[in-house]
Homo-oligomer: A and B are copies of this chain.
Amino acid sequence: MGRLKEFDEDKAIDGAIDCFWARGYEATSVRDLAEHMGIGGASLYNAYGGKRALFATALERYADRTSRQRIARLEETGRPKEAIRTFFAELIDRSLADPQRRGCLFVNSALDVAPHDAELGKAVAGYLDEVRAFFQRCIVAAQAAGGISARLDAVETSHHLLGVLVGMRVLARTHASRETLEAVARPALQLLDVPVARPGKGKR
């Protein structure tokens, strides 16, 4: 019983994601949000509880729609080493293709809200660790399949790759060029190409 919602919840959340993504948490006002979500201010508070709760919801939706979906798509191919390589290639393409240079919502949030909100900070750290865990799974799988040297520390390398990913996302916001971003990534990706087994036999 009761009156039905008149707006599309998915479209609304997408609008909220766009706002937070482009301007950050603090700089986004509730009125901006409501306008981009196509709803009134009262509906926003009625449906989502407030700005902070809406942000948490938007973060979770972004994780599902953007991060996890891409990870799943790449992991399904069954080519773990290529998955990492493609992940970074797509990252560069997306960073350069976005005229707003929004970067990554997680990375932006890590600087914007995480230091001042322990709860949201933990959530952001968790989302970032999902990406790191994806790297780790890819490395372990590639090592099992013989595509990556077993001498590489999978955990350490996954942390390194996440660090490089985060750095690239930040640099992309200062209008870094494709050449710059590729230069940042290349040494990390070449890590995965150390000779796999017999020492003394280079790949080149």
Contacts and interface: CB of A to CB of B under 8 A. Distances in A.
A51 to B, nearest CB: 14
A174 B114 contact: yes
A108 B191 CA distance: 28
A158 to B, nearest CB: 8
Number of copies: 2
Contacts of A200: 200
Contacts of A100: 115
Contact of A110 (B125, B174, B180, B185): B174
Contact of A187 (B23, B24, B110, B160): B160
Interface in A71-119: 100-103, 107-108, 110-112, 114-116
Interface of A: 23-24, 26-27, 100-103, 107-108, 110-112, 114-116, 121, 124-125, 128, 155-157, 159-160, 162-168, 170-171, 173-176, 180, 183-188, 191, 199-200, 202
Nearest to A107: B170
A160 B184 contact: yes
14 contacts: A24-B26, A27-B116, A110-B173, A112-B112, A121-B174, A121-B175, A125-B175, A155-B183, A159-B184, A160-B184, A160-B186, A162-B171, A163-B185, A167-B168
